[in-house]
Structure 1
């Protein structure tokens, strides 16, 4: 798959809905077997247009968003040249998977003196 630019009209009402939409889309790049990679997510609130760029299937993005909002695809195509506009870009969400844990367990001999150590 090549890098694409997907522009959608999403009926998001407020900043909380915008944040939840960003999280819903950013989840797609967290799956290992999916091999999707999202480079940027941006949204213009006055037009209610969301732009997603990266190596991702447009139908999976729409499928994630249509569970909570009405979504219309405006444009799907190759990534255009980097154009700066008044849109807010958010690249700070890491891939989210609730089954990944970041806890580590370390035991030391001093904490448990009754443990058996074989040399």
Structure 2
């Protein structure tokens, strides 16, 4: 079973080279990674290879709050530029819109039922 190569771009709040090294070490332990790069100025982590974005986020979420910016094919094919029509502008504006990725956490209370009363 061969997965397609993907380019995953994550926003990751790294402050120093020590945090950068820790993030690189965590992500590089995953199988199927071809390349790994961190841009400290823009705080972006780029992973290329046959790796699942969920696995990448799973490795990083223990120490940071990663946010997926984009997931796409590893190499984009060059397309010929065609003259654009009026209707294409609306379609292009819709395609450029990217919805933010929300991360939800569920915290289980320590008690079995927080509404239960011990003393009646």
TM-score range, shorter chain: 0.5 to 0.7
* Structure 2 equivalent of residue 19 of structure 1: 21
Relative to its length, the structure with more strand (as a share) is 1
Unaligned residue ranges in structure 2 (runs of 5+) = 77-120
For 1:50 and 1:80, locate their aligned partners in 2 and report how far apart those are by CA, in whole Å. Answer: 17
Of the candidates 63, 69, 82, which is equivalent to residue 68 of structure 1? 63
Unaligned residue ranges in structure 1 (runs of 5+) = 30-36, 82-119
Relative to its length, the structure with more helix (as a share) is 2
**Aligned residues: CA RMSD:** 0.8
For 2:48 and 2:35, locate their aligned partners in 1 and report how far apart those are by CA, in whole Å. Answer: 5
**Size of the alignment, in residue pairs?**
74
Larger RCO: 1 or 2 (CA < 8 Å, sep 6+) = 1
For 1:80 and 1:28, locate their aligned partners in 2 and report how far apart those are by CA, in whole Å. Answer: 21
Of the candidates 9, 15, 38, which is equivalent to residue 7 of structure 1? 9
Q: TM-score, normalised by structure 2?
A: 0.60
For 1:70 and 1:48, locate their aligned partners in 2 and report how far apart those are by CA, in whole Å. Answer: 12
